[in-house]
Amino acid sequence: MQLGIFDSEGRAARARRIGLRLLSVLVILVAWEEMAPRMSGLLFPTVRGTMTALLELLVLPAFWRALWLSNQALLLGFLLAAIFGVSLGLWMGRSRTVERIAAPYLSILLVTPVSALIPLFIIATGLGLATRVLVVFTFACVVIVVTTRAGIRALDQSWIEMAISFGASERQIWSRVLLPGTLPVLMTALRLGLGRAIAGMVAAELLAMAVGVGRLVLDYQGNFDAAHVFATVLCVVAQAVALTEGAKYLERRLWTWRTAVGNR
């Protein structure tokens, strides 16, 4: 009986959250529609004009080709950042030697705007896919390394000491203690890195080379087609929200599974 009450309260709370979010979106759209004609900006589009442009964009083959071209760099750069960033973060959290070697470079990248490095990447790798992948990788890797390192350092050291006292090898410590203990933090690191990777994808195409979705934005901007500029940006935002929400869902599922396994 109590479980039923808790379930109904949980559903009611979720319904209220969804209702508040929808209400906030409605308020923003109404304010946008009312303020657009009064804005002093050049050709600031209305909601209706942007939605019309969005529908036109979604049936345009050139848009889907541009989106696929952009996502190539996103996919490759993020995968490389995830593999390298998680590995380095775990290694830095476990080894003081690796920490002393890598920490200065990590600190430099943390305080350096990555966009300022894009000209250097172009000089080093040219104007191809490799440069865009490198930009995405650099945007995402730092936050993955920092979050992963913090996660492994936050583990209770008594777990490791207990494993050592029972004669566990280094490999067993990694497989039985460190990796299971940091798994939720790793998912958080990847989710944050994914958001940064999307920012890197857009920055590379707007600042480095006009390809993919960035090329569409610049073309529409050059033609003073503000409605299609907004529509293209909305598509990028929608993709970012969908990917990050999917990552949040996987993170919650993983945490639920880990808790269930730990309670057995």
The string of pLDDT tens digits covering residues 179-220 is 777 778 888 899 899 989 988 888 888 877 777 788 888 888
Each residue's pLDDT tens digit, 131-176:
889 999 999 999 999 999 888 887 767 777 677 777 777 777 777 7
- Nearest-angstrom CA–CA distance, 250 and 247: 5
Report yes or no: 57 and 228 within 8 Å, Cβ to Cβ. Answer: yes
- Nearest-angstrom CA–CA distance, 107 and 176: 31
pTM (two decimals): 0.78
Provide the greatest CA pair distance for the chain.
73
Name the percent of the chain lying above pLDDT 90: 11
Domain limits, the chain: 1-38, 42-262
> How many other C-beta atoms lie within 10 A of the C-beta of residue 224?
9
Report yes or no: 225 and 50 within 8 Å, Cβ to Cβ. Answer: no
Residue 204, judged by CB atoms within 10 A of its CB (0-12, 13-18, 19+), counts as buried
- The per-residue pLDDT for 116 is 80
- The per-residue pLDDT for 85 is 92
Report yes or no: 143 and 192 within 8 Å, Cβ to Cβ. Answer: yes
Comparing 5-19, 58-72, 235-249, which segment has the lowest mean pLDDT? 5-19
Q: How confident is the model at residue 80 (pLDDT cuts 50, 70, 90)?
A: very high
Each residue's pLDDT tens digit, 45-75:
888 888 888 898 888 888 888 888 888 889 9
Which fold is adopted by the domain 42-262?
MetI-like fold (1.10.3720)
Q: Which amino acid is at 44?
A: F
Q: How confident is the model at residue 81 (pLDDT cuts 50, 70, 90)?
A: very high
- The total number of residues shown for the chain amounts to 264
DSSP 216-237: HHHHHHHTT-HHHHHHHHHHHH
- Nearest-angstrom CA–CA distance, 162 and 232: 55
